[in-house]
Amino acid sequence: MSTGTIEKRLRELTAICIALTAERDLHRLLELILMKARELTLADAGSLYLIEEDETAGESFLRFMLAQNDTVPLPNMESIVLPLDESSIAGYVAKTGQSVRLADAYYVSERYPFRFNPRLDMELGYRTYSVLAVPMRTPAGDVIGVLQLINRKTAPGPIPDVLRVEAHVVSFSYEDEEIVRALASQAAAAIENNRLLESIRRLFESFIRAAVLAVEQRDPATKGHSVRVAELSVGLARSLAGVTSGRWAGVVFTADQLREIRYAAILHDFGKIGVREHVLVKAEKLYTHEMDLIRHRFALAQYAVQYEALRRKLEYVLAHGIGDHTRMFAELDRWAADQTERLAGYLQVIEAVNRPSVVDQDPNTDLLEEIARVVVPMPAGTDQVLLTPREVARLSIPRGSLDDEERREIESHAAKSYEFLRQIAWTKELRRVPEFAYAHHEKLDGSGYPRGLRDDEIPLQVRIITIADIYDALVASDRPYKPAVSPEEALAILEEEAREGRLDADLVRVFRDAGVWRRTLGWGTRE
């Protein structure tokens, strides 16, 4: 081999190694390794195996990962596994760490313990002659797989006559072995890095699941919400690639950007772990014990009415003596019935108003204040009010179940999420996760929280997550503090928010027209 050819190969190897370090998808990485090894050696075909361990049995084996062939189409061989022993070429190389070069695979020297299996050749109508198999060894010296090349051609391209393969094939040279061994070592390092990265991702995914579980255990009513918001967010982000009009037409997110959106969406509510649990799960405007206290007051008031009617009857008898008091007693009974009915009506109003609404509603504050002005004399000589000013204030909440103080505490979860997430050493590709989670309650008109961001201060990714979050909260059927609305009603609310300048109208339109919202349908309990 000439000096110029060697230098050219070394330049190609350097370029290949650089490409290997940049590829993070394992399947594409393996495809690249095998393809470049074949290009460097003019190999017509090749295959790649990786060592895997059966943790249950405690044994290792070789898993076939992929094959390539320029001349004949290959069947699906993804299920093939080989024992990690010396009975096959790949098994021998993986077991011993030694390379194998064969001029004709059908005539293997007796010094090797393996024999070539021609079954696949027979199925394909192909003939394997020259073989080069090298171990894929990490910098630490561990063999993690085998790179196997078949039929070194005399010229590029498919073999023109599959019936006379031998006329177009030569043996792999020592220089071929050396260059492929160098490539295999770099490939092993790239695969190990890829596996390490994938391991870190799995570890982080498990951390995310644990974080979401921690929040859901404190607030069971929102179980599955974070995962659904993530799916809706990623679905909306992907849909933009097919949009032909509007501000975000044709926007394409990379895999890393989609992962960044997904993580931010899953973790957007993590700060709720710092919110007091009774506030977090508050189902109605009044807490249960507060409503029970009001019911107790009304029961006492009804008792006081009956007591007052009996007292007046007794006074009448004492004043007028024994006789026919039917008419007076009937009047007092009617008065007691009217008072009891009025009290029951008041209580029904309070119980109805106590149930929160999804949108702003008039809680009939005038009637609540009228009820609060009612003073019921008690038998002990004290006066009993039916509602306190604090209770009137809480029952007058126009939307939701929280008063101003409770709402501020709930709203603090966005800042708490940010403070938690910024403690994580995010990679460069995911560095904006804390920022996106922080802003998921911001609105374009500045009416959101916690910072009151406006317009272009709110990134596209945040606008996407916000729409997904609102939609899922509206259609959720497991929230104790509100009834679920239909998908059509939820979409109408989103569109109204967009018309009023609080949500991104272009994104809402894509969310509706691309059917992203349908991702939440048919999930049963939606866990």
493 and 412 in a common domain: yes
Within-domain flag for 203: no
CA pair distance 168, 207, nearest whole angstrom:
55
Per-residue pLDDT at 425: 87
Q: For the chain, what is the domain count? A: 3
Within-domain flag for 204: no
159 and 26 in a common domain: yes
96 and 188 in a common domain: yes
147 and 34 in a common domain: yes
- Per-residue pLDDT of 269-290, as tens digits, reads 988 888 888 887 788 899 999 9
Per-residue pLDDT at 111: 92
- Given a cut of 70, whether residue 361 has pLDDT beyond it is no
Per-residue pLDDT at 387: 93
Q: What is the CATH number of the domain that holds 490?
A: 1.10.3210.10
**Residue with the larger pLDDT of the pair 503 and 403:** 503
With bands split at pLDDT 50, 70 and 90, how would you rate the model's confidence at 19? Answer: low
Per-residue pLDDT at 363: 67
Whether the CB-CB separation of 504 and 457 falls below 8 Å is answered with no
Per the structure block, which two tokens stand in for 354? 């106590």
With bands split at pLDDT 50, 70 and 90, how would you rate the model's confidence at 480? Answer: low
With bands split at pLDDT 50, 70 and 90, how would you rate the model's confidence at 524? Answer: very low
Per-residue pLDDT at 397: 87
Q: What is the CATH number of the domain that holds 117?
A: 3.30.450.40
CA pair distance 111, 389, nearest whole angstrom:
98
CA pair distance 311, 315, nearest whole angstrom:
6
Dihedral over Cα of 437, 443, 447, 453: its sign: positive
Per-residue pLDDT at 492: 95
62 and 147 in a common domain: yes
- Per-residue pLDDT of 231-248, as tens digits, reads 999 999 999 999 999 999
182 and 132 in a common domain: yes
- Per-residue pLDDT of 489-522, as tens digits, reads 999 999 999 999 999 999 999 999 999 998 754 4
Tell me which residue of 398, 357, 351 sits closest to 371, measured CA to CA.
Answer: 351
Per-residue pLDDT at 1: 53
Q: What is the DSSP letter of 211?
A: H
224 and 191 in a common domain: no
The radius of gyration of the chain's CA atoms, rounded to the nearest angstrom, is 38
Within-domain flag for 40: yes
Per-residue pLDDT at 43: 96
- Given a cut of 80, whether residue 14 has pLDDT beyond it is no
Per-residue pLDDT at 525: 33
Per-residue pLDDT at 9: 65
Per-residue pLDDT at 265: 94
- Given a cut of 50, whether residue 135 has pLDDT beyond it is yes
Per-residue pLDDT at 162: 86
Within-domain flag for 214: no
Question: In 402-459, where does DSSP find H-type helix?
Answer: 404-421, 433-438
Average pLDDT over residues 356-371: 77
Within-domain flag for 506: yes
Q: Show which of 365, 382, 399 is a domain's final residue.
A: 399
CA pair distance 147, 183, nearest whole angstrom:
10
Per-residue pLDDT at 252: 96
- Cis before 450? omega within 30: yes
With bands split at pLDDT 50, 70 and 90, how would you rate the model's confidence at 357? Answer: confident
Per-residue pLDDT at 4: 57
Within-domain flag for 301: yes
CA pair distance 386, 156, nearest whole angstrom:
94
User: Over pLDDT 70: what percentage of the chain?
Assistant: 91
Domain membership of residue 377 as a residue range:
288-399
Per-residue pLDDT at 526: 34
Whether the CB-CB separation of 493 and 438 falls below 8 Å is answered with no
459 and 318 in a common domain: no
DSSP bridge pairs for 63 = 50, 81
Per-residue pLDDT at 344: 94
What is the model's pTM? Answer: 0.69
How far the first Cα of the chain sits from its last, in Å, is 64
DSSP 281-339: T--SSS-HHHHHHHHHHHHHHHHHHHHHHHHHHHHHHHHH-SS--HHHHHHHHHHHHHH
Within-domain flag for 209: no
Per-residue pLDDT at 137: 92
Angle subtended by helix axes 26-41 and 3-22, to nearest 10: 180
Lowest mean pLDDT among 16-20, 346-350, 399-403: 16-20
Per the structure block, which two tokens stand in for 353? 């108003």
Q: Show which of 197, 228, 251 is a domain's final residue.
A: 197
Within-domain flag for 206: no
Average pLDDT over residues 343-361: 84
79 and 142 in a common domain: yes
Whether the CB-CB separation of 292 and 326 falls below 8 Å is answered with no
447 and 383 in a common domain: no
319 and 261 in a common domain: no
- Given a cut of 70, whether residue 6 has pLDDT beyond it is no
Q: Show which of 399, 425, 454 is a domain's final residue.
A: 399
Secondary structure (3-state) at 51? strand
Per-residue pLDDT at 522: 40
- Given a cut of 90, whether residue 263 has pLDDT beyond it is yes
* Cα angle 436-438-444, degrees, rounded to a multiple of 5: 75
Lowest mean pLDDT among 97-106, 142-151, 240-249, 307-316: 307-316
65 and 179 in a common domain: yes
pLDDT averaged over every residue in the chain: 88
